[in-house]
Amino acid sequence: MKQYLITPAAGKRLIARVLAQHPSVIKALKSNTVVIIAGSTNGYLAEEILSNIGCVRDFSRKRFFRGIVLPPSKPRRDDGRLLENKGFPGDVIISKGKWQKGKTIFDVGEDLQEGDIIFKGANALDLSRHKAGIYIGHPQGGTIGTALLAHVGRRVKLILPVGLEKRVNGDLNEIANKLNQTDVSGPRFLPVPGEVFTEIDAIKFLSGASAELIAAGGVAGAEGSVWLLISGNKDETDFADELITSVSKEPLFNL
**Res 254 pLDDT > 90:** no
- Determine if residue 192 is left, alpha or beta; phi over 0 gives left, psi from -120 to 50 gives alpha, anything else beta: beta
pLDDT in tens, 43-88: 999 999 999 999 999 999 988 988 777 777 766 666 555 655 677 8
The CATH number that domain 12-197 falls under is 3.40.50
Query: Average pLDDT of the chain?
Result: 93
Single pTM value for the model: 0.93
pLDDT in tens, 183-230: 999 899 999 999 999 999 999 999 999 999 999 999 998 999 999 999
Average pLDDT over residues 18-39: 97
Residue 80: predicted pLDDT: 53
pLDDT in tens, 139-181: 888 999 999 999 999 999 999 999 999 999 999 999 999 999 9
- Where are the chain's structural domains? 12-197
**Res 38 pLDDT > 70:** yes
